[in-house]
Each structure stands twice: as structure tokens, then as C-alpha cells.
Amino acid sequence: MLEDSPQEEEWKRALWKKSSFPDNFVPGSFLSSLSKNPNFTPYTYWGLVVSSCAVTQHIATIFTFLTVFVRLNEGLLDPRLLVWISVGGFLTGYATWELLECSSNHNTASMTNRAKTVKSSILVFLALMSLSPVLRTLTAATSSDSIWALSASLFILNALLADYTGFRPEAQHRERLTSVLSMNAAISSGVVLASRLPSDVCVFALTLFSVQTFALFPLLRRRLQSGPTGVHIIVTIALCGSCVSFTAPVSSLAAYLVCGNFVFVTFVAPGVLVWAQRYKNEIRGTWDPAVPKVYTAGSSL
Amino acid sequence: MLEYRLTVKDRMVCDFFHPNAGGVENHIYMLSANLIRRGHKVIAITHSHPPDRVGIRWLLPALKVYYLPFPTIASSATLPNFLTFLPYLRTIVLREGVEIIHAHASLSSLAHEGLLHAHLMGVRTVFTDHSLFGFDDAASILTNKLLEAALRNVDAVICVSHTGRENTVLRARLLPQTVHVIPNALVADQFKPMPTIRSNDNERNTVTIVVISRLAHRKGIDLLVATAPRICALFPNVKFVIGGDGPKLIDLLQMREKYMLQDRIEMLGPVQHSDVRDVLVRGSIFINTSLTESFGIAILEAACAGLYVVATRVGGVPEILPEDMISFANPDEDDVVRAMSEAIDIVTANKHDPIRAHERVRSFYNWCDVAERTEKVYDTVMQQEPYDFWTRLRRTLQLGQFAGPIFAIILIVDCLFFVFLEWWIPRDDIDKVEMHWNQDDFVEVWMFILICSFRTDQCI
């Protein structure tokens, strides 16, 4: 092909020019604008380990919830105690949140906001209490096996869709659909598990606990995650430790599984990702849609 | 010219065709019309548009269009099903004696099927790709694999720009030698610049900037929203005329309201393709802020109508016009403002001659040339030896560990389906088309009838 082409005329990348080259002529500059992995910054192992702490924390919460359920179901835990633990957890969490709000410059929480929080928490409390007799018999006609399978799949869905990014109050924040779905899956799972419990108080205690762990705690977790790394790691270790210590008395096999799970998510999975990066091959060229750079405030929606 | 009559019958297969309007539709129609002028017989096949566009229709220069009864899902695309097109296609190919199938557009499932079935009837294949695709999202990965499978055994591919060619070669893993670059063209007579020079002093000082585009993110409307108020502030004699519709319309309206530019930015709403020229000639600068563009026919139309063009340097846009007819900008707010200022200076200093620009574009692009170059591709394809069945199967299996066996199964099932059809509707039972529309004969007969009726009138 190259030998046949007329040498006196230089090939130009122009469509408007009448050229004596055949239409399928392959110029030397063919694909010269192709670049591979142009703005690729490889992940570092320890950075990934810190990021994966969020996932570990979430899994620890799920397992803690499950052990609480098992204890309630077998009568090893007094439901009234669980209610008090939930209330105490809520108050501690809320106080931490307020402290974080005060420490950051964005002091947006006013008295009216606090009053609203108190009002809605009382409302949730009362609503759950009045609903618990209904929830107890909700799945009476369904066999327990189906409930285990259902709740397991709902928890898996919850863990897959959960939002593991840090939460910054100053950044404009929009709740993503997946994180809402994730929360709903976990709450539904809590409800179907609660419907297996023997008494109304148990049902109430477990649903309240599920709201605490799956609706409110993730907010605090994400808030802490965007804070200093040390706090993040300490919270992770505390959560994992408490989760294992709760699980071990119920079933030692489950405790080993949970430990293995934590090690895999925190230490093995980041290693696998770092290793897999060698296969990354991102192709960029002039055909890619350009990213517009717009500076005027307000015009970028 | 008319003596040069080829026996080749080509066929255009695409989901996107008249009565829908658009770049691909227009391309197919103009290419077919010019191939017919060069003595080919062209048949177009597309899906039907119930209730009124069904069956077989004739379009003006003897273009026969088959509208097949396939339901569309979205944006005029049919569901990919790989096999259901074969009974129609076989009958049409046998009736019409088709020799080449020319499929258009990489997201058209009819086109993909046409390429898959063609070899069963011994028909050769050509494919034209009109669009650019990335490689980095799930949808692109899937459609690129589909395209690769469809183009595995194609005889030749045509792309509309050098950038498009590089993109298609990578997406479908083709040999670059089999891919030809034949640009789009335009009918220069439809985009003549305004002949009279405006004498009014006030009018003369005003520079009107025209934008005609689908108002979508891909067309870079965010850049326009950011730059238009800055240009209005920099140049008090500049006006904007914006035509088009789309999801970003609301952003433009908000911008106009925020900066109180209602008297300087005119929004026209959707513009019919037949009215584009009239909108274009109202201004002297055309701006296109697309983020990706495989060819940019809108830029060419504007340049042909005598406008100076400001465009973002993306995709195939840098290839279509010489540097002195167009100002390029990077897709960046400051640089677009710089390029627009440059363009306004050039136009106010009368350094841009619309009539000359029109003549230049006319000399660069015409459909006759496109048809001639396409014909050359057909000729080379007809001279090549086709792949035999086992080569096809081997090449299909090389597609990949997962895709290979899947598409090999589709290929084999397709062959079995063809054998079944040969038994069910034997070739000999299919009527062959013997007569084709001939525009010259029609005109001759029509003149004869007119003359006869004129004479009878006189007798009475």
C-alpha cells in the first residue's frame, strides 16, 4: 500500500482536500492520538485498606444485629435491656454528631432543628410501638426457612448497595437511589426477622434496634469516615472486636467466619485490587467526548 | 453518463430512514439518489412506521423502499433478535437480485442482521459507521462487542472521518486496510448565503451569532451557557440566535433570565431541516460547542451558508474545513471566549467573504463525488474472494472466550433457518422483479400524454 502511493504529495488528515491517496490508505500517523491509561494513578495498598474499613464496619454492624436477633430469639437477652441500649446508643450518637457539628465551622444545628429531631424520634418510637403487634404476626403464615433466605438476600443487597463514601456536611449532598434502597432492604430484613420473635416487646426492641443500626448509624459512620484516619481506624477496630465478642458465645463457627470475613475484606481484597491493576488498559483518543471546563459559578448544575 | 449502466444492485439496510429526519437518514437518501444517477439500482430496507408508512414505497429518483413490519423500541431502533429478519431479507434479495448489501449505523439491529444473513444468498457486504463511541462504560463495552461480531465477516467498512475510522478500527478490531474514509457531503444549493449586503449602519455593526443544535449535554450546551453572557458583556454589538430543542433548553432560558439578555439572545425552539438555511443566513458567525462529533455536518452547512465558524476541537471536526474558515477552541470556557472574540474581530473587519466561503465548500464536498468513491469500494468488494463458511465460523469463534461460541451458535442456527426457508418457500416460487422505475421513461411518457391531451383539446 505504502509503495504504491504517490510520494510527491504528503498525506494530510483533511477531508476537504482532494487527495490522490486511496480511501483506505493507512498513513504512518494512524492512531497516533491513541493514549493508554493517560490519567491513571495507581492505588496504594494501605490507602485501600483504610478505604475498605468502611465496608468492614458495615459488615460488623450487620453481624452484630444478627447476634442480637439470635439472643432475643433464644431468650438470652432481655428485650427491655435492648430498648435501653438502643435509647442510650441513640443519645450517645446524637451527642457525638452535635460535637462534630460544633467542632466543624458549619454550626447549622439550631434549637428548632434539635426540637424537630426530638419530635421525630418520639414519633418513630411511638409508631414502632403501636405497630409491633402487627409486625409480630406479619409473616406467621410463612415458614422460617423462607424468612432466613429472604433476610439473608436482603442483607446481601444492603451490603452491596450501601454508600461507603465519606459524608461532608459542607459539600452539597444528594442522597443516591442505591443508598436509599440499601437502607430499605436492611430495615425490611429487620422487620421480617422481628416477625419470628415470640413477644411484642421483643419485636419492638428489635425493630427499634434495626432503625438505629441501619438508618441512623450509617450517617454517623460516614461522618466519622470523613474525619481523621485515626478515629476511623479506631472505630473499625472497636466495631469488629465487639462484633466478634458478641458472636463467639452464640456460635464459635460463626465467629471464625466473621473473623475470616474481616481479614478478607480489609487485607486480602485490597491486595487483589492492587494486583489486578496491572491489567488496566484504558484507551483514550480524539473520539472521546471532551470534558467541558466551565468556571462561572452557578452555570454548572 | 446514462450509457454507463452497471448491473449491480445495492441495497441499503438501516433502522433509521425516511420519514424520520436526521443525519444518517439524509446520508442514506442522498447516497442512494446519487448511486441511482450513476446507473445503479438501489433498494432501501427499513422498519415500518405505522399507520401510514408501511409496505413498499417509491421515493423520488427511483428509490424503492421496503418498510418491514418490525416494532420499534426507542428512538427508531428495533429490538436485536438476529433471526427474524431473514425470511423478509431472503425474499427481497431473491426477488430483486441484490448483489451488495450496504448497512448503515452501528446501533441499527437491522443493519447487523443484514450483515449476518448476506452470505447465505451469496451477497457481499459493506458497512458505514456514522458515530463515535468510547470504550469505558458498560454500554459501550456491550455495543462494541456486538459491533465486532457483526463486522467480523464484513467485506468493507466506510467511515465518515479519519477519527471515525480510528475509532471503528479499535472498536471492531478490524484491519485498517479494509476501512475506507468517505466523508459526508451536502447539497450546496440548499445553503446559499444571503446575496444582498445590508446597508443599514445599525444592522451592519451588529454581529449575529447563530447556534443550531440539539440542546443536549453532548452538544456542549454547558459551554454555551457559560460563554454567551461573557461575550454579550464584552461585545455590546453581538446578538445570539439559538435554534433547537432538548433537555438543556431550560439552562439556556435560566441563563438568559439571570443576565437579563432577553433582547440579545433569541430562542427559536425546534428548527425544521428545511428552515435551517434561513436561520443560518441571519447571522455571520456559527458556533458549535459539541463535546464529541464524528463529522459535524451542521458546521459544514453553516460554512456553506457563508458563516464564519467557531468550533470545539473534538472528534472529526478539525478535518472538515481548512484552518482559515474556522476558529478552533479547546472545550474550556476561557478558550471558547477567546475563539469567539477572534471570530467577531475577523467578521467585523470584513475579512470573511461569505460568497467565497460558499464556493469553497461547494468545491470541497458534493454527493456525486461521495457516490463515485462508494462505487469504488463496491468494485473492490466485488473483486475480492468471499469468505467460505468454515472461514466465517473460525473467524466468529475467534471473537472471544464467551462471545465467540455465542455468535458461532447464532451463525449455525441462521444457516439451519435458511435451509428450512429454502424448503418452505422454494426459490422457484418467488417472483422476480423484472421492471424497475425509470425516471427518464416516466418523463417521456408523461410528456407524450401531455402532448396527446393538448392535441385532443385542439380537435374538440
Q: Tens digit of pLDDT for each residue in B252-310?
A: 999 999 999 999 999 998 888 888 899 999 999 999 999 988 888 899 999 999 999 99
Average pLDDT, chain B: 86
The per-residue pLDDT for B10 is: 58
Total number of domains constituting chain B: 2
B226 and B329 part of one domain: yes
Identify the residue with better confidence: B15 or B347. Answer: B347
Rounded percentage of chain A residues whose pLDDT exceeds 90: 47
Residue at B387: amino acid letter: Y
User: To which residue does cell 446559499 refer?
Assistant: B192
pLDDT number for residue B42: 87
Residue B174, domain extent: 9-185+368-429
Cross-chain residue pair A287–B312, CB shorter than 8 Å? no
B44: which strand partners?
Answer: B12, B65
What is the pLDDT, as a whole number, of residue B127?
92
Assess whether B137 and B167 both reside in one domain: yes
A301 near B CB under 8 A? yes
**Percent of chain B whose pLDDT exceeds 70:** 92
pLDDT score for A105:
62
Is B323 an 8 Å CB contact of chain A?
no
Radius of gyration of chain B measured on its C-alpha atoms: 25
pLDDT over 70 at B19, yes or no: no
**ipTM above threshold 0.95:** no
- Reported as a pLDDT band with limits 50, 70 and 90, residue B14 is low
Q: Are B16 and B145 members of one domain?
A: yes
Contact across the interface for A13 and B170, Cβ inside 8 Å: no
**More confident position, B55 or A155:** A155
User: Which of residues B364, B379, B398 is at a domain's end?
Assistant: B364
Q: pLDDT band for position B9 (50/70/90)? A: low
Q: Tell me the per-residue pLDDT of B248-258, one tens digit each, with 9 for 90 and over.
A: 999 999 999 99
Which of B129, B179, B181 to mutate: most A Cβ within 10 Å?
B181
**Pair B113, B173 in one domain:** yes
In a domain, B444, yes or no: no
- Chosen for mutation from B319, B323, B376 (greatest number of chain A CBs closer than 10 Å) is B319
Domain boundary among B364, B395, B410: B364
Residue A206 cell numbers, joined: 428489635
Mean pLDDT confidence for A236-264 = 93
Beta strands B9-13 and B55-59, pairing class = unpaired
Q: How far apart are CA B359 and CA A174, in angstroms?
A: 54
The string over B124-138, giving b where at least 16 C-beta atoms fall within 10 Å of a residue's C-beta and e elsewhere, is bbbbbbbbbbbbeee
pLDDT of B3 > 50? The answer is: no
pLDDT at B393: 94
Predicted local confidence at residue A2, as pLDDT: 45
- Say whether both B162 and B18 belong to one domain: yes
Question: What are the angstrom distances between the C-alpha of A237 and each of A46, A54, A56, B128?
Answer: 16, 11, 9, 59
Give yes or no for residue B200 having a pLDDT over 60. Answer: no
- Does the bond joining B405 to the residue before it have cis omega, within 30 degrees of 0? no
Amino acid letter, residue A69: F
pLDDT-derived band at A67 (thresholds 50, 70, 90) equals: very high
Chain B residue with the nearest C-alpha to that of A289: B292
Residue at B416 is within a domain: yes
Looking at the domain assignment, is residue B181 inside a domain? Answer: yes
| Substitution target from A26, A287, A299 for chain B, most B beta carbons within 10 A | A287
Of all residues in chain B, what percent carry a pLDDT higher than 90?
47
Question: Which residues 6+ apart lie within 8 Å of B369 measured at CB?
Answer: B185
Answer yes or no: is pLDDT of A197 > 80. Answer: yes
Confidence at residue A296, expressed as pLDDT on a 0 to 100 scale: 60
Q: What is the DSSP letter of B332?
A: B
pLDDT of A3 over the 50 cut: no
Give the CATH number for residue B411. Answer: 3.40.50.2000
* pLDDT, tens digit, 9 for 90 and up, residues A164-187: 888 776 665 667 788 889 999 999
Mean pLDDT, range B74-97, rounded to an integer: 83
My answer on whether B319 and B220 are in the same domain is: yes
Cα Rg of chain A (Å, integer): 28
Using the predicted structure, report yes or no on whether residue A8 has a pLDDT greater than 70: no
Domain boundary among B364, B387, B406: B364
Q: Check whether residue B303 and residue B404 sit in a common domain.
A: no
**Which residue in chain A has the smallest CA separation from B380?**
A24
Q: Are residues B103 and B174 part of one domain?
A: yes
Q: Are residues B235 and B323 in the same domain?
A: yes
In a shared domain, residues B347 and B384: no
Average pLDDT (A215-227) is 88
Vertex A278: Cα angle to A274 and A279 (nearest 5): 115
Identity of the residue in B180, B230, B292 whose CB atom sits nearest the CB atom of A289: B292
| Average pLDDT value for residue range B331-344 | 92
Grid cell for residue A239: 466495631
Answer yes or no: is B446 within a domain: no
Contact B344, B355 (CB under 8 A): no
* CB < 8 Å from A in window 382-441 of B: none
Whether B134 sits inside 8 A of A294 (CB atoms) is no
**Position B459 confidence tier, pLDDT thresholds 50, 70, 90:** low
pLDDT of amino acid B231: 93
Q: What per-residue confidence (pLDDT) applies to B54?
A: 86
Cell 443599514 found at: B200
Residue B440 lies in a domain: no
> Which residues in chain B are closer than 8 Å to A17, comparing Cβ atoms?
364
Please tell me which of the candidates A290, A296, A299 has its beta carbon nearest to residue B292.
Answer: A290
Do B207 and B356 share a domain, yes or no? yes
Between chains, do B170 and A31 touch, taking CB under 8 Å as contact? Answer: yes
Give the chain A residue nearest B331 (alpha carbons). A292
**Residue B4 pLDDT level (bands cut at 50, 70, 90):** very low
Residue B321: list chain A partners with CB under 8 A: 16
Q: In 3D, which of B152, B147, B150, B154 has the Cα closest to residue B131?
A: B147
pLDDT given for residue B67 in this prediction: 87
How far CA B109 is from CA of A71, A76, B54, B127, B172, in Å, comes to 58, 63, 19, 13, 16
Which residues between 3 and 22 in chain A have a beta carbon less than 8 angstroms from any beta carbon of chain B?
13-17
Could you give the maximum distance between any two Cα atoms of chain A, in Å? Answer: 94
Is B215's Cβ below 8 Å from some Cβ in A? Answer: no
- Nearest CA distance, A28 vs chain B (angstrom): 12
Give the A:B interface size as CB pairs under 8 Å.
115
Residues 232-291 of A with CB under 8 A from B: 282-283, 285-291
Residue B250 lies in a domain: yes
Q: What are phi and psi of B260, to 5 degrees?
A: 55, 50
A23 chain-B contacts, CB cut-off 8 A: 158, 180-182, 373, 376-377
Q: Is B128 on the interface with A (CB under 8 A)?
A: no
Dump pLDDT digits (tens) for B394-429: 999 999 899 999 999 999 999 999 999 999 999 988
**Which residues numbered 6-65 in B keep a CB inside 8 Å of some CB on A?**
none
The most confident of the ranges A63-72, A136-145, B40-49 is A63-72
Predicted pLDDT at B351:
86
